[in-house]
Every structure is written in structure tokens, then in C-alpha cells.
């Protein structure tokens, strides 16, 4: 299996949004409760840049498998070296090692992106994602109990962090 990471273009935004929307119903990955549109994600898309906060497509044997994004934490200059990473995969690629390869790529890219702290914002009931990040040496840096109401069920948000030296 050959895995590649390429910079996303505006042309890719509809498939990025489609992948994102495919995770909403599970109530495991995102706090959005209804599908979003490409138009509503345009500002988010434009907040990315190749040299500082990339948005990559993940290709598996040349086929689109998902995406990775780096998002600024808290929006203040003093936090510039702290970044949230998000990984969203197409359903047929989940559980096949693409998440591991994607997280490794994110970690390996931190030095060139001047990232000192990499964060993952993960629901407490998303055991697969928590396990993935813990297996890469992330530690629990914050626990927000019952902060997300998803269909009447209150869910915890865990922030996992890894110092990149």
C-alpha cells in the first residue's frame, strides 16, 4: 500500500466536506450534528497554508482516502507553536493503517512547520482515536466532562497532547 500526502486545493473542498459529513452520524468524531456545506467551510479551508497550517489529502495507492488538517490553537500569537491535528478518513480506509500513517506524517512534519505541541481533540467515547493517539505517545492534557450534548447524551472531550522536541 503506497500512501501519499498532497496539498489540498479549493477544488478538493467538496470531497473534504463529504468525508467530514460521513462521520457526523456516528457521533464519535465531530460535534457537528447536521451535515455542513463546502460554502460554510470556505473560511476554514482558507485558514490553511502549505508552509504553516497545511491541509493534506491522503492518497492510498493513488485513491483519495481522506485528509489531515493542522489548525491553530486558540488564535493568539503566543500559542503559535501549538496546533490541533485532525484526521478524517473515508469509511473504506478506516482500520487499515491509514490513520497511523497519517498521524506519523503529522508528527514528522512538526519541525518544518515550527510546531512544538501537537494536540488531538477527541471525544471520551471515541476509543479507537484515543488508542491511536496514545500509541503515538500522546498524553491526556485536558478533560472536559459532559461538554458536548449529542442527541441528549452528554459527552466528554479529551485533549491529548504531545511535545515535539
The model's pTM is 0.95
Share of the chain above pLDDT 90, in %: 97
Domain that holds residue 55: 3-163
Residue among 64, 77, 160 nearest 121 (CA): 160
Q: What are phi and psi for residue 150, nearest 5 degrees?
A: -120, 100
Helix (H) or strand (E) holding 128: helix 127-135
pLDDT per position as a tens digit, 14-50? 999 999 999 999 999 999 999 999 999 999 999 999 9
d(CA 2, CA 63): 10
Total domains in the fold of the chain: 1
CATH of the domain at 50: 3.40.630.30
In which residue are the cell numbers 473534504 written?
16
d(CA 63, CA 102): 15
Amino acid at each position: 500500500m503506497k500512501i501519499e500526502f498532497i496539498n489540498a486545493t479549493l477544488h478538493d473542498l467538496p470531497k473534504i466536506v463529504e468525508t467530514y459529513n460521513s462521520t457526523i452520524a456516528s457521533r464519535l468524531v465531530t460535534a457537528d450534528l447536521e451535515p455542513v456545506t463546502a460554502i460554510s467551510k470556505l473560511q476554514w479551508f482558507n485558514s490553511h497554508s502549505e508552509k504553516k497550517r497545511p491541509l493534506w489529502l491522503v492518497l492510498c495507492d493513488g485513491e483519495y482516502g481522506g485528509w489531515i488538517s493542522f489548525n491553530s490553537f486558540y488564535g493568539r500569537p503566543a500559542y503559535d507553536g501549538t496546533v490541533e491535528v485532525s484526521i478524517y478518513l473515508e469509511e473504506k480506509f478506516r482500520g487499515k493503517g491509514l490513520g497511523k500513517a497519517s498521524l506519523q506524517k503529522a508528527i514528522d512534519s512538526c519541525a518544518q512547520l515550527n510546531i512544538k505541541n501537537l494536540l488531538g481533540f477527541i471525544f471520551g467515547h471515541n476509543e479507537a482515536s484515543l488508542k491511536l493517539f496514545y500509541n503515538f505517545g500522546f498524553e491526556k492534557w485536558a478533560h472536559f466532562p459532559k461538554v458536548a450534548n449529542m442527541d441528549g447524551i452528554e459527552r466528554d472531550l479529551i485533549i491529548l497532547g504531545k511535545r515535539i522536541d
